[in-house]
Amino acid sequence: MRRPRGWTLASLALAAALLLGTAAAQGIPSQGIPPAERHSGFDQMAPETRAMQADDTANPGMLWVQDGAELFARAPSPERPACAGCHTESAMRGVAGRYPAWDEGAGQPVDLEGRINLCRARHQAATPLPREGRDLLALSAYLGHLSRGRPLAPPDDPRLAPARAEGRALFETPMGQLGFSCAACHDAQWGRRLGASTIPQGHPTGYPLYRLEWQDLGSLERRLRNCLTGMRAEPLTPGSAEAVALTLYLMQRAAPLAVETPAVRP
């Protein structure tokens, strides 16, 4: 949530408490939003921000997409293949909307960034790229861009059911010193205003995305970390099972909205 000028964290917390009332402390069961009523955060943005996202020549996130395309085509070493040596662009269209997914070798769900790093280790003998590092963001943005316009469609794989349930529990459970849950805002109060900001439904349609507040491209994990910090809760460890589980639930909750990567947000 972007902090309006002149607002302190304490005043934002008070405003949130007044808006959410006792529901936040009690927890909000996440009934989900019916597919026909699901809206991207794009719909709530100012016209000039929507225009920035829609125009690839004005969208700052396209700089990362270009870097990602170069990394995808470049071999990490002379003895190892480039990503493009195994995967064609046409075959990768839609892939970003199908993660997190189950990984046989790891025996657990992995998100898109985790899959990129597993491929690097298994097939390229390369070291994992750091989370929130430019190269991993660039590759994720490039793959997301290839999937732009395709629906979010996390796999209907029974092995993912425990992680999806864990993600839903994380979404519904009050956290931190303020006792808020994700659902208290994004299910129960979406469309209302908190300070100068409209509360979105919270669908991860455009990550990694360029946030004007950050003046940078960032992952969904970065946004979750911002939210949890604002709730005065302990942030999730990047790439952890809990972070992947919450991502999986959010993707399921947003389906079948279209991938927008790289989105632009205030």
Q: What is the CATH number of the domain that holds 233?
A: 1.10.760.10
In the chain, the number of structural domains is: 2
Cut 0.85: pTM above it = yes
Q: What is the pLDDT of residue 31?
A: 54
Instruction: Decide if 3 is inside a domain.
Output: no
Residue 134: is its pLDDT beyond 60? yes
Do 162 and 255 share a domain, yes or no? Answer: yes
pLDDT of residue 137: 98
**For residue 10, pLDDT beyond 80:** no
Q: How far apart are CA 39 and CA 37, in angstroms?
A: 6
pLDDT for residue 226 is more than 90 = yes
Distance CA 10, CA 189 (A): 20
Pairwise pLDDT comparison (170 vs 198), residue with the higher score: 170
Query: Looking at residues 185-197, what average pLDDT do you find?
Result: 89
Residues 22, 68, single domain; the answer is: no
Q: Are residues 52 and 173 in the same domain?
A: yes
Across residues 51-71, what is the average pLDDT?
A: 98
Which residue among 103, 125, 146 closes a domain? 146
Which listed residue (83, 182, 185, 227) is catalytic?
Answer: 227
Contact 112, 68 (CB under 8 A): no
Task: Answer whether residue 1 is part of any domain.
Answer: no
In the predicted model, what is the mean pLDDT of residues 235-252? 97
In this prediction, residue 96 carries a pLDDT of 97
pLDDT at 17: 46
Burial letters 215-235, b for 16+ CB under 10 A, else e: ebbbbbbbbbbbbbebbebee
Residue 4 domain-assigned (yes or no): no
Domain range spanning residue 30?
9-56+157-265
Last residue within a domain, chosen from 123, 146, 169: 146
**Contact of 244 with 188, CB cutoff 8 Å:** no
Q: Domain for residue 43, yes or no?
A: yes
Any catalytic annotation for residue 227? yes
Q: Are residues 210 and 182 in the same domain?
A: yes
d(CA 209, CA 212): 10
Shared-domain flag, residues 136 and 41: no
Residue 211, in any domain of the structure:
yes
Residue at 213 is within a domain = yes
Q: Is 36 exposed, middle or buried (0-12, 13-18, 19+ CB in 10 A)?
A: exposed
SS3 of 198, please?
A: strand
Nearest one of 262, 244, 261, 257 to 101, comparing CA atoms: 244
Q: What is the mean pLDDT of residues 222-230?
A: 95
157 C-beta neighbours (distance < 10 Å), count: 12
Higher pLDDT residue, 215 or 196?
Answer: 215
Q: Which of 125, 146, 167 is the last residue of a domain?
A: 146
Residue 194 predicted with pLDDT over 70: yes
**pLDDT bracket for residue 20 (50, 70, 90):** very low
How does the average pLDDT of the chain come out, rounded? 90
% of the chain exceeding 70 in pLDDT: 88
Q: Is 191 helix (H, G, I), strand (E, B) or coil?
A: coil
Residue 45 lies in a domain: yes
